[in-house]
Structure 1
């Protein structure tokens, strides 16, 4: 009887723990990129998205894909949040890898969802699910550790100490570095959302393979900056990496807007 109870507890822990492995950007990170995306929508895309989401903003809906991980019926979405690589890739290597990619991952499913949302006969419920997931996943892959190593679960197995608290490399990039700024998501957007038309055009013209390549290159830099067991000098780490993090939040939002404009606003 006692063994059965212990097994149930362990199973519950595993169920709770596994979804955490695929989280990217914490709540504020997703809302920041979502709010930035909203600021660059064209009128036609804005109207189409409102017809699907109703009164829920892009910023708020961008966390739905993480919130529903507690519902077993959505377990099939687990692998949609990331693409793991075994090393730092050159761009030709990245393109070759993705050309052969038939796995269930963020790359294949972003392409799938774009195709779904362009269909005229997609049901309302499927359209809502597709839009929510696409918003979240485009933001996800701009968090560099979501293109990290399969062997360490995108940095989840690299254990670190942050202000004397145990954490891991993935969690630092999900939320702790963002939370260190002590800003609401709207304050954060007001701080970093400054782009030129030329920047937006360049970022939005890049294919999804380029997005993944950039994140993979950044992941390599991030991996090189720590080793398992390190006690992070938070102030130094913030100084060295906050510019990279903020740039990725902005890029994710700008590219999401470009994709949504392409789907709904052309």
Structure 2
């Protein structure tokens, strides 16, 4: 009896924990970028976001799309989190690809939800769903492995070692690198959120296609600099932590700019 009870507890814990393993940026990475975005909202956008989210901050709303994966009702949202590519497009090629993109992916759903959120008569439940998803997806596509190769499912099938732990390239960029810095998400924001007005203006003029291209280029660099089954550790962190931090900051700045545009 005791053994069966213990077995049930272990199985339940695995079920609860499993969805957390597939989070993009991990909850900490999402909250970092959400907190950064909050610092750059216009008063009008801040009020509009508050009217939709209530007391839920952007940082906390940013993880909803991953936590809800455990609810099969929302399974249809799975493909909204990424755009994988079959070849290393240059920027004009990628722009052309996106113009013809009719798939259900991060790019097409972002375009759809931006249009919906600009509507004055959108029901509150749709506003809440779409705002949470826009926050999350903008953050996701700044994680390079969410714009990576189709054949290895964005690095999920690219096996590596993180120190002595079996892992994969996607997971390393989702959470391993961020967790390795050993900071809370608010401490992390305080450590990296330094941008000039000119820098923010330049970044916020960039179209979503440029966000995707920049992330894809980082992904290609990561692939080129990593061997399958390689043991990653101190040197890997040293090599990529600046890139990681810049992507976190850019995600927050881009998200703020987009929300300012939607609710401006």
Question: Could you report, residue by residue, the CA deviation over 1:11-44 in whole angstroms, capped at 9, with x for unpaired residues?
Answer: x9xx999967963100100000000000000101
1:246-257 matches, cutoff 5 A: 246-257=245-256
Matched, 1:263 2:262: yes
**Residue 192 (1) aligns with residue 198 (2):** no
Cα distance in 1 for partners of 2:186, 2:242 equals: 18
Is the counterpart of residue 165 in structure 1 residue 165 in structure 2? yes
Tell me, in whole angstroms, the C-alpha distance in 1 between the residues paired with 2:84 and 2:132.
Answer: 22
Q: Is the 8 A contact 1:89 1:217 kept in 2?
A: no
**1:85 aligned onto 2:89:** no
Q: Which runs of 4+ in 1 moved over 4 A?
A: 15-22
* TM superposition shift of 1:225: 1.3
* Conserved 8 A contact 2:19-2:67: no
Secondary structure in 2 aligned to 1:167? strand
Q: Is the 8 A contact 1:22 1:78 kept in 2?
A: no
Question: Residues 160 and 231 of structure 1 are in contact (CA less than 8 Å); yes or no, is this contact kept in structure 2?
Answer: yes
| Structure-1 separation of matches of 2:17 and 2:170 | 14
d(CA) in 2 for partners of 1:102, 1:249? 28
Q: Matched residue pairs, number? A: 251
2:52 matched to which residue of 1? 52
Per mean C-alpha deviation after superposition, the further-off stretch among 102-111 and 223-232 is: 223-232
Q: Distance in 1 between matches of 2:202 and 2:81?
A: 25
CA distance in 2, matches of 1:186, 1:16: 25
Aligned-partner Cα distance in 1 for 2:140–2:250:
12
Residues 35 and 252 in structure 2, CA contact (< 8 A), matched pair in contact too: yes
TM-score (norm 2): 0.92
Match for residue 111 of structure 1?
111
Residue segments in structure 2 that go unaligned for 5+ positions in a row: 1-11
Contact 2:20-2:67 at 8 Å conserved across structures: no
CA distance, structure 2, for counterparts of residue 98 and residue 180 of structure 1: 35
CA distance in 2: counterparts of 1:107 and 1:198, whole angstroms: 26
C-alpha separation between the residues in 2 aligned to 1:207 and 1:216?
Answer: 15
* Equivalent in the alignment of 1:210: 210
Structure 2 CA distance for aligned equivalents of residues 114 and 56 of structure 1: 20
TM-score normalized with structure 1 length: 0.91
Aligned-pair CA distance for 1:249 = 0.3
Q: Which runs of 5+ in 1 are unaligned?
A: 1-11
- Whether 1:238 and 2:237 are equivalent positions in the alignment is yes
CA–CA separation in structure 2 for the residues paired with 1:81 and 1:22: 11
For 2:189 and 2:73, the matched residues in 1 are separated by: 34
Provide the secondary structure at the position in 1 that maps to 2:226.
coil
Deviation track 1:103-124 (CA, whole Å, cap 9, x = no partner) reads 0000000000100100111111
Tell me how large the CA RMSD over aligned residues is: 1.7
